[in-house]
Amino acid sequence: MTDVNRGNRPLSPHLQVYRMYITMVVSGLHRISGFGMTISAVLIIWWFIAAATSPEYFAVVNGLLTSWIGTLVMLASLYGLCHHLLNGIRHLIWDTGRLFDVETIDKTAWFVLLGAPALTLLVLLIVLLG
């Protein structure tokens, strides 16, 4: 598009100009959780490689993932997964053109924000008690 002037258009106001909305928080957490799960993916695949290699190597990686810092990372991963999953479903519903009015969007944002820690606890309970 060489004949189109792309340099002199008005810019939208910067993020910091806006008052904080609940939808901004949920949207930001969606991206952060997705980005953060890169680390989870690397750790889990490393764990599988260790389990396929030898008992000694597995003990090292399994020990690292279940150390206190490893447990913290895995718990954060589970929370990130729950947020990304719930908000992902919200996005898929939007893709069908539904639930777009402002009031509903705020409600579903709160549902995701509060539902993610609740779902995290539910999964933990099932794993620990099951």
Contact residues toward other proteins (CB under 8 A) are 1-4, 31, 34-35, 37-38, 41-42, 44-45, 47-49, 51-52, 55, 58-59, 62, 65-66, 74, 78, 81, 85, 88-89, 91-92, 95, 123, 126-127, 130
CA 27 remoteness from chain centre = 10
Shorter beta-carbon distance to other proteins: residue 4 or 102: 4
Min dist. Cβ of residue 33 to other proteins (A): 10
CB 78 within 8 Å of CB 120: yes
Of 114, 113, 103, the closest CA to residue 24 belongs to 113
Rounded-to-integer distance, Cα 49 and Cα 47, Å? 5
**What is the maximum alpha-carbon separation in the chain?**
65
Considering the complex, what minimum distance in angstroms separates the CB of residue 109 from other proteins? 18
Least Cβ distance, residue 1 to other proteins (angstroms): 6
Q: How far is the CB of 84 from other proteins (least distance, A)?
A: 9
Nearest CB to other proteins, comparing residues 69 and 102: 69
Give whole-number Cα distances, 36 to 10, 20, 41, 102, in Å: 33, 22, 9, 29
